[in-house]
Structure 1
């Protein structure tokens, strides 16, 4: 394992976060805080509690997950797309660095950025509503697993995309709608029975449900199922990345 190469790529990607602090940290935190204020104030005045949890506190895990999805995808996709765009990816591919080490560095950096943002937003939310985390260890486990999983998918998007428009296509048209329909701002038990069953086909439901369980010991889907589905999504991402490097998809052109 070439730890020097991993550390070099990782530190370069983390340095980009420091150089673009307003865009990378301040903007997502402000955007998520606005969601919290608007939804918590507007809807929270009409929905006081959900299963004994105040609505303002109820949406905190969902908002953190929403940010985690979008930022993990964005950081990882741009991190690998830009070297492809300027041509420096071939210098990395020709260096004595394995595919595994490249993935660890890029995905690790993107996941680290998302986890930092998630913790910042968690601290920010605690200023608005009283929070109590029932299972802090599992909260961190879901936070890390989700960040790594979506960073992997972002890495895949960054390799697949041919231009900046395609880079934003999947997050805007697929991930964001799934996040909003995946129980971010509500419990799927509030839906009619038919829509509850349809919602179970949305992978985001399992991620949000498991993460919310770690806070309030309540979920739309059992904790075991949520954890298992999260690991399945992670395995799918790893399998796709392995195929990309094995086949040289869009890397050997």
Structure 2
């Protein structure tokens, strides 16, 4: 492992966060604060508690997960797409840096940035609602696994996309709707039985449910199933990234 190369790419990607501080950090925190104000005031006044947890506190894990998913995707996809767009990716591919080191550096930087945003949002949530974290180790585990998994997914999108429009297509049209329909703002047990079964086809349900369990010890889906689905998605993303570098898909042309 060429740690000097990994560190160099990692530092370069992290430095971009400082140059785009408003977009990378401030914007998602303000957006999440608005969710707290709007949902907490408008809906929280009508739904006082869900499973013994105040509605304002109930939506905190979902909001953190929403930001984590979108930030991981956008950071990783743009991080690898921009070198392809400018042509500097060929310099990287010709350098004495392995494919593993490229993935580790780009995905590591994207995951780090999304974890920073998640931590800031968690701290911000404490100003709006009383929080408790019953299983902090599992909370960190879900945060790290989700950040890495969706950073890998974003890396795949960045390789696949051949325009800035395609770069935004999957996050806007697929990931964001799935997150809103994945129990971020409600318990799936509140749905009719048929729609509960349909909702279980949404992979985001397992992420949100497991993450919420780490806070309040309550989940829509068994936490073991949530962990299994998270590892499964991680394995699928790793397999796709491996295939991309093995075949040179959209990298050598």
TM-score by length of 1: 1.00
Most deviating of 176-185 and 32-41 = 32-41
Summarize deviations over 1:145-180 as a string: whole Å, max 9, x none: 000000000000000001000000000110000000
Equivalent residue, structure 1, for 2:35: 35
Equivalent residue, structure 1, for 2:169: 169
Equivalent residue, structure 2, for 1:90: 90
Take 2:235 and 2:42, find their aligned partners in 1: how far apart are those partners?
Answer: 39
Equivalent residue, structure 2, for 1:81: 81
Take 1:5 and 1:45, find their aligned partners in 2: how far apart are those partners?
Answer: 53
Take 1:169 and 1:36, find their aligned partners in 2: how far apart are those partners?
Answer: 26
Equivalent residue, structure 2, for 1:220: 220
Aligned: 1:120 with 2:120: yes
Please report how far the alpha carbon of residue 40 of structure 1 lies from its aligned counterpart in structure 2 after TM superposition. Answer: 1.0
Gaps of 5+ in 2: none
When the two chains are superposed, the root-mean-square deviation of aligned CA atoms in Å is 0.4
Question: SS state of the match for residue 68, structure 1?
Answer: helix
Take 1:32 and 1:91, find their aligned partners in 2: how far apart are those partners?
Answer: 39
Equivalent residue, structure 1, for 2:206: 206
Summarize deviations over 1:92-127 as a string: whole Å, max 9, x none: 000000000000000000000000000000000001
Equivalent residue, structure 2, for 1:25: 25
Equivalent residue, structure 2, for 1:192: 192
Question: SS state of the match for residue 115, structure 2?
Answer: helix
Please report how far the alpha carbon of residue 36 of structure 1 lies from its aligned counterpart in structure 2 after TM superposition. Answer: 1.4
Take 2:143 and 2:135, find their aligned partners in 1: how far apart are those partners?
Answer: 12
Take 1:148 and 1:58, find their aligned partners in 2: how far apart are those partners?
Answer: 24
Equivalent residue, structure 1, for 2:157: 157
Equivalent residue, structure 2, for 1:5: 5
Equivalent residue, structure 2, for 1:181: 181
Question: SS state of the match for residue 59, structure 2?
Answer: helix
Equivalent residue, structure 1, for 2:72: 72
Equivalent residue, structure 2, for 1:239: 239
Q: Structure 1 stretches (4+) deviating beyond 3 angstroms?
A: none
Take 1:35 and 1:89, find their aligned partners in 2: how far apart are those partners?
Answer: 38
TM-score by length of 2: 1.00
Take 1:104 and 1:63, find their aligned partners in 2: how far apart are those partners?
Answer: 27
Please report how far the alpha carbon of residue 37 of structure 1 lies from its aligned counterpart in structure 2 after TM superposition. Answer: 1.1
Take 1:33 and 1:219, find their aligned partners in 2: how far apart are those partners?
Answer: 24
Take 2:47 and 2:223, find their aligned partners in 1: how far apart are those partners?
Answer: 25
Question: SS state of the match for residue 130, structure 2?
Answer: coil
Take 2:73 and 2:108, find their aligned partners in 1: how far apart are those partners?
Answer: 12
Take 2:48 and 2:195, find their aligned partners in 1: how far apart are those partners?
Answer: 23
Question: SS state of the match for residue 119, structure 1?
Answer: helix
